[in-house]
Amino acid sequence: MRDRYYVSVDVGATRIRVALFKSSGEIVQRVEASTPRENPEAPSRKIIELIDSFKPKISMRGEILGVGIGSIGPLDLKKGMISVAPNLGLKEVPLVEPIEEKLGLPVALQNDCTAAVIGEKYFGAGKTFDNLVYVTISTGIGGGVYVDGHLLVGKDGNAAEVGHFVVDNRWNLKCGCGGIGHWEAYCSGRNLPRFAKILIEELKAKDSEKRYLMKRCNRDLTRLTAKTIYEGAEEGDPLCLRILEEVSDLNARGFASITNAYDPELISVGGAITLNHPKLVLDPIIRGIGKYLAVRAPEIKVTPLGEDIVLYGAFALISRSIS
C-alpha cells in the first residue's frame, strides 16, 4: 500500500504555516512564510509553493490525499474564500479553488478557531468531552464550539464569534467590526493598548506610577503594546497589574457568556497572549467567572497543543472528510 500523507495549513494575519502529516497524525515536516498581501491571489500561490517544497520528503510510493485549511476570517465557505481580511487589506481571497485546481487534490476549509477546536477534540484536551469550547486570546479573540458532540458551524461558518460578545457598557469602546462593547475591543492583543491608555488616564496615574511603562515605551505611550503590559505585570509593576485587573474582569465576563451560551464541560484556551502568560490570563478568569454564571462552571485550562492547534485541526478536518 502507498504511504498516505495530508497537508495542513494555518493561514494567519502575519504568517502562513504549513505541515505535512502522515495519515497516523505524525508531523513529518513544517514550513512557514509571511502572509503575502500584494493581491487576493497571493496567499493561495504561497500555500501551493510551500506544499511543493514537501515533494522531496514524500517517498516514491507516497501520495498526498488532501489539504485542510484553518484560516483567519470571516470566510465565505460556499465560495471557499476569505470574504474580508482587514488585517491583510484584502477582500475575497480565494483559497479552495486555486489549490484544488493547481494540485488536483480535495481541499477542506474552516475558520481557524473552528479548525482549532477540531484539533482539540481529536488530538488535545477534548478527546473525552462532547461539550467543548476552544478560545484564542491573541491579536484577536475567537472561539470554536462542540455541543453534544456536534461541531457548530453556522450559515457562513461564523457560529462562535465569541470575540464579539458584548462584555461592557461602561467604556463603550468600538470594535473593529463596528459593534460597541465587544470583548475583542478591550482584551485582544490589537486593542488592549488603546484600552490601557484610557484606564491610565482614568486612574490619574502619577508619573512615578507610570515609570515602568514610560521606560518600556521610550516615553511615548502610543508605542504601548499588549506584550509590554503583560510583561510588566509578570514583573510585578502595580500599574500593569491594575490594568490587567480590568482586563481580567472583562475576560471573566466573556468566559461566563460562553459558558451560559454553550454549557461546556471544558474550555481550552490558546493564542499567543495565553500561551505566553498562562497563569496571569487564566487564574483571574477561574476566580472571577462565578459571579457572572447562570450554569455550572466548566474546567478551564491551557491547550496542550500550543501554537500547533490549528495545524492539528486542519489535518483532522481533511483526513476525516476523506477516510
What are the backbone angles phi and psi of residue 210, rounded to the nearest 5°? -90, 0
> Of the two residues 175 and 281, which places its CB atom closer to Zn ion in the complex?
175
> Of the two residues 162 and 311, which places its CB atom closer to Zn ion in the complex?
162
Query: How many chain residues touch Zn ion (CB under 5 A)?
Result: 5
Q: Over the range 184-204, which residues count as b (16 or more CB within 10 Å of their CB) and which as e?
A: bbbbbbbbbbebbeebbeeee
Which residue blocks in the chain are alpha helix, DSSP H?
42-52, 96-103, 112-123, 184-187, 192-202, 211-216, 226-234, 238-262, 272-276, 278-288, 309-322
The separation between CA 200 and the C-alpha centre of its own chain, rounded to angstroms, equals: 28
Per CB under 5 A, 175 contacts Zn ion: yes
> Of the two residues 188 and 303, which places its CB atom closer to Zn ion in the complex?
188
Per CB under 5 A, 74 contacts Zn ion: no
Nearest to 151 by CA among 108, 188, 182, 193: 108
Whole-Å CA distances, 112 to 74, 148, 152, 197, 266:
10, 21, 13, 30, 19
Per CB under 5 A, 177 contacts Zn ion: yes
> Of the two residues 64 and 187, which places its CB atom closer to Zn ion in the complex?
187
Beta bridge partners of 269: 135, 302
* Cell numbers at 88, concatenated: 491583510
Question: Which residue, judged by CB position, is nearest to Zn ion in the bound state?
Answer: 175
CB of 180 to Zn ion, least distance (A): 9
Window of 48-56, 81-89, 121-129, 173-181 that interacts with Zn ion by CB under 5 A: 173-181
Per CB under 5 A, 182 contacts Zn ion: yes
Window of 44-52, 130-138, 148-156, 182-190 that interacts with Zn ion by CB under 5 A: 182-190
Window of 87-95, 118-126, 158-166, 306-314 that interacts with Zn ion by CB under 5 A: 158-166
* Cell numbers at 94, concatenated: 480565494
* Sole binder of Zn ion in the list 17, 121, 164, 277 (CB under 5 A): 164
Per CB under 5 A, 179 contacts Zn ion: yes
> Of the two residues 177 and 295, which places its CB atom closer to Zn ion in the complex?
177
Residue 226 in contact with residue 192, Cβ under 8 Å? yes
Distance from C-alpha of 174 to C-alpha of 184, rounded to nearest angstrom: 10
Window of 118-126, 159-167, 231-239, 307-315 that interacts with Zn ion by CB under 5 A: 159-167
Binding residues for Zn ion, per CB under 5 A? 164, 175, 177, 179, 182
